[in-house]
Amino acid sequence: MSSKFSTFICQNCGSETSQYFGRCVNCKKWNTIVEEKKTSKSKTTNINKSKTSKLFNEIEIEKISRFTSGFSEFDRVLGGGIVPGSIVLLGGEPGIGKSTIVLQSAGEISLNEKVLYITAEESLEQVKIRWERLNQNSLDLKIYAETNLSFIIQEIKSVKPSFAIIDSIQAINNDEMESSPGSVSQVRTCSSELQQIAKENNIALLIIGHVTKDGALAGPKTLEHLVDVVLNFEGDNIASHRLLRSVKNRFGSTFEIGIFEMLENGLKEVQNPSSIFTNKENISGVTTTITNQGSRPFAVDIQALVNKTFYNNPRRTTTGVNINRLHQILAVIEKHVGIKLSDYDCYIATGGGFEINDPSSDLGVAISILSSLKNIPPSKNCAFIGELGLSGQVRQASNLRAKIDEAIRLGIKNILIPKTTNEIKNNFRDIIQIKEISDINEAMRYALR
Ligand code: TYD
Ligand code: MG
| DSSP per residue, 124-135 | HHHHHHHHHHTT
Q: Is 249 in the pocket of ligand 1 (CB under 6 A)?
A: no
303 and 192 assigned to the same domain: no
| DSSP per residue, 137-148 | --S-EEEEE--B
387 and 429 assigned to the same domain: yes
* Total domains present in the chain: 3
168 and 37 assigned to the same domain: no
The radius of gyration of the chain from alpha carbons, rounded to an integer in Å, stands at 26
342 and 421 assigned to the same domain: yes
Report yes or no on 419 lying in a domain. yes
191 and 242 assigned to the same domain: yes
320 and 189 assigned to the same domain: no
Mutate to test the pocket of ligand 1, among 262, 264, 265, 267 (most ligand atoms within 8 A of CB): 262
CATH code where residue 323 lies: 3.30.230.10
Judge contact between 367 and 333, C-beta under 8 A: no
359 and 286 assigned to the same domain: yes
Task: Report the separation in Å between the CA atom of 444 and the middle of ligand 1, taken as the mean of its atom positions.
Answer: 46
CATH code where residue 255 lies: 3.40.50.300
Beta strands per DSSP E along 374-438: 382-384, 387-388, 394-395, 414-418, 433-437
Domain that holds residue 347: 275-447
Residue 10 has phi, psi (to 5 degrees) of -75, 125
Which of 269, 294, 321 terminates a domain? The answer is 269
- Show pLDDT as tens, one digit a residue, over the chain (449 residues): 444 567 888 877 778 888 888 888 888 888 888 887 765 554 444 555 677 888 888 888 777 789 999 999 999 999 999 999 999 999 988 889 999 999 999 999 999 999 999 999 999 999 999 999 898 777 889 999 999 999 999 999 999 999 999 998 999 999 888 888 888 888 888 999 999 999 999 999 999 998 876 655 556 677 888 899 999 898 765 567 888 988 899 998 776 788 899 998 999 998 777 777 777 778 999 999 999 877 678 899 999 999 999 999 999 999 999 999 999 999 999 999 999 999 999 999 998 788 898 999 999 999 999 999 999 999 988 999 999 999 999 999 999 999 998 898 888 899 999 999 999 999 998 899 999 999 999 999 999 98
Q: Is 91 in the pocket of ligand 1 (CB under 6 A)?
A: no
Q: Is 105 in the pocket of ligand 1 (CB under 6 A)?
A: no
283 and 309 assigned to the same domain: yes
Report yes or no on 157 lying in a domain. yes
13 and 123 assigned to the same domain: no
353 and 388 assigned to the same domain: yes
333 and 288 assigned to the same domain: yes
Task: Report the separation in Å between the CA atom of 15 and the middle of ligand 2, taken as the mean of its atom positions.
Answer: 27
160 and 303 assigned to the same domain: no
Q: Is 126 in the pocket of ligand 1 (CB under 6 A)?
A: no
**CA distance linking residue 170 with residue 184, whole number of Å:** 9
Q: Which pTM does this prediction carry?
A: 0.74
Q: Is 66 in the pocket of ligand 1 (CB under 6 A)?
A: no
β-pair type (257-263, 163-167): unpaired
Distances in Å between the alpha carbon of 273 and those of 153, 170, 258?
40, 33, 9
Distances in Å between the alpha carbon of 369 and those of 183, 302, 343, 364?
46, 9, 14, 9
Q: Is 352 in the pocket of ligand 1 (CB under 6 A)?
A: no
Q: Which ligand 1 atom sits nearest the alpha carbon of residue 168?
A: 6
Tell me how far apart the terminal alpha carbons of the chain are, to the nearest angstrom: 80
Residues 6+ apart with CB under 8 A from 393: 438, 439, 440
Distances in Å between the alpha carbon of 22 and those of 9, 30, 174, 304, 365?
12, 6, 27, 43, 43
